[in-house]
């Protein structure tokens, strides 16, 4: 397994939150914002942390904010910009809107670091590309996707050497592990 000094962490918080109608990163769950929750989760696993996004309200987190170099391209642009900024080969990238991620999942992903480009959770319902480990060596391939107007992460993961990690057992133990907040109904259900 990689040493903590070899991993950078990024919280993807640059989305428009258009379906929710408010900045989801600042929603409060169990007395803390989603952004604070995700920062706290990945901090012990990473040498450096940054926020992929540029909302001025994030300044009080005292972390570098990495703006999308390609606006309006979705999460693929946040991942690209984060990797370009990173000084480490391996990068733990998590979306801000998945509040029930936990150390068990992150530990499982980290335990699978090897000769791969990406390490991504999978389960019976599909893959979770917005929670994973991404290696900087994918920068040219991800830039090609963006240049070609193809912003679909699932398609990108098919063209690079991706290790899909089966998280079915974790999902059985933690049924809301990958629940994400996109609509106000999702938030109210917590």
**CATH number of the domain encompassing residue 118:** 3.90.550.10
Model confidence at 49: pLDDT above 90:
yes
Task: Please state the rounded mean pLDDT for residues 47-56.
Answer: 93
For helices 75-85 and 139-147, the axis angle rounded to 10 degrees is 140
Q: Is the C-alpha dihedral spanning 88, 96, 17, 179 positive or negative? A: positive
- 159 vs 5, higher pLDDT: 159
Task: Please state the rounded mean pLDDT for residues 1-10.
Answer: 77
Q: Which domain holds residue 160?
A: 4-188
pLDDT of residue 31: 92
Number of domains in the chain: 1
Tell if the pTM clears 0.85, that is, is over it.
yes
Q: How many CA atoms lie within 13 A of 27 on its CB side?
A: 24
Mean pLDDT, all residues of the chain: 92
> Going by DSSP bridges, is the β-strand pair 7-12/90-95 parallel, antiparallel, or unpaired?
parallel
Model confidence at 121: pLDDT above 80:
yes
């Amino acid at each position: 397994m990689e040493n903590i000094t070899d991993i950078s962490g990024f919280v993807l918080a640059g989305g428009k939150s258009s379906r929710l109608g408010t900045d989801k990163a600042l929603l409060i769950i169990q007395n803390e914002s989603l952004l604070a929750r995700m920062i706290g989760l990945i901090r012990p696993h990473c040498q450096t942390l940054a926020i992929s996004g540029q909302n001025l309200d994030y300044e009080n987190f005292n972390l570098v904010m990495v703006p999308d170099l390609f606006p309006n391209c979705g999460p693929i642009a946040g991942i690209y910009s984060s990797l370009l900024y990173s000084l480490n080969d391996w990068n733990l990238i998590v979306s801000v809107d998945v509040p029930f991620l936990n150390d068990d999942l992150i530990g499982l992903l980290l335990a699978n670091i090897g000769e791969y480009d990406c390490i991504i959770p999978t389960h019976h319902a599909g893959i979770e590309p917005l929670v994973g480990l991404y290696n900087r060596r994918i920068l040219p391939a991800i830039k090609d996707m963006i240049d070609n107007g193809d912003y679909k992460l699932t398609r990108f993961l098919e063209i690079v050497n991706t290790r899909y990690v089966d998280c079915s057992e974790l999902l059985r133990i933690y049924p809301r592990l990958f629940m994400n907040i996109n609509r106000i109904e999702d938030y109210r259900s917590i």
